[in-house]
Structure 1
Amino acid sequence: MVMANDYGDQIKYKESPYNISSDKVVTASGVRTALGTKEDVANKQDTITDNSTYYPSSKAVYAHTSRVDNPHGVTKAQVGLGSADNTSDINKPVSTATQNALNGKQDVSDRVSTFTGNVSDDTKYPSARLVYAHTSRVDNPHSVTAAQVSLGNVNNTSDLDKPVSTATQTALGGKQDTITWETYISASSTHSQYPTARAVYELVQREL
């Protein structure tokens, strides 16, 4: 069998061991050897399978390399996220670190603007304005009594209306009541009348 000279692009097959050339006799052995370098058309597959006999088409390879649905089953551990949970940011639980930080914070609801109803609650704290308002009061907000300021025996009366004290009355007991001085001494004068010095002088002069 003589081959036509149409294998210009297959120079290697003209030489041994193939000897497929227009100027050579084609042998069965040479053809088999040449065919042994070729892949069977039946082995070409449009899908990728686990078989070393088959080979995929370019389309099948491209279809695989273009996939973005994790065709190799890569796990989160393989990408360094083995400890991560598959939850959205909005649904993530409070982390241990965050909780520890929160434990050192005061709840906003514990801040109060009035002392009413929470005076015995150790978890509540007043606002600065509330404290200032209290410390600025001058209406005895703590209900301090006279006894607490060492004035328990004092009566709430003005100086003008105060009664005569015991000590004062004792002192007054040794005093003469206010009298009307007599400017003239006569035989009708009594022991309850007190003459002025002039009245005494004039009496003495009259008796001379």
Structure 2
Amino acid sequence: MTTPLPVAPEADATSRERTRARPLSRTERRDAIAAATVPLLVEHGAAVTTRQIADAAGVAEGTLFRAFADKDELLRAAVVRSLDPAPAVAAIAALPDDDGLGPLVLRLVEHLLEAQRIGMRVFAAAHQVLDPHRGARLDHRADAHRLGVDARERSARAIVGAIEDKLAAHRSALRVDPEVAARAVFALVFGNALPHVAGGDRLDAAQVADLVLGGIGADVATDPSP
């Protein structure tokens, strides 16, 4: 039996150094903390504590204030981070679509309704931390509010694009262009989720999907595509 050769101390130290995780840059640290804060915003709103955030991010509480000027700046970063459309786009792309247009539309609506539920919780907190009329540093808060609005618009466009891509495979079953269909799905789902827009009780996923697929006319023959 061969006896393993002893490892020189300096070689062992070099090996450990190579496997040690690379320290995060300040930008990476800020993004990681903001990402860890998003679920806490959903659960606690703007009342989330810095101790809860530090625990979720796996850092010391003091680290938060080396990455961010104050709690409000951290929460603003979390709100903007929540608007990153990449996870939603990936989730939409992964939805099964091999059993026809109807089941796909229902899955899309169910997914978007859940995303809207989470988003509403985040934006309940966002109205506090992105409100340009709240507290001091007015110019900074106005800039943050604008960035939040811009991020929301970019997110919406990306999600509509993902829906369009998903529906494009079923073009022969659509009476409108996939782009128009995608915008209609998005608008109906998100409008239905807002009481002041819906004007009454919210429709469930099956009802929304049925309206997307069938419209409200008994015999619809027109095509609203541009």
TM-score normalised over the length of structure 1: 0.18
Higher relative contact order (CA 8 A, sep 6+): 2
Q: Comparing both structures, which one devotes a greater share of its residues to strand?
A: 1
Of the two, which has the highest radius of gyration? Answer: 1
Q: Which has the higher helix share?
A: 2
TM-score by structure 2 length?
0.17
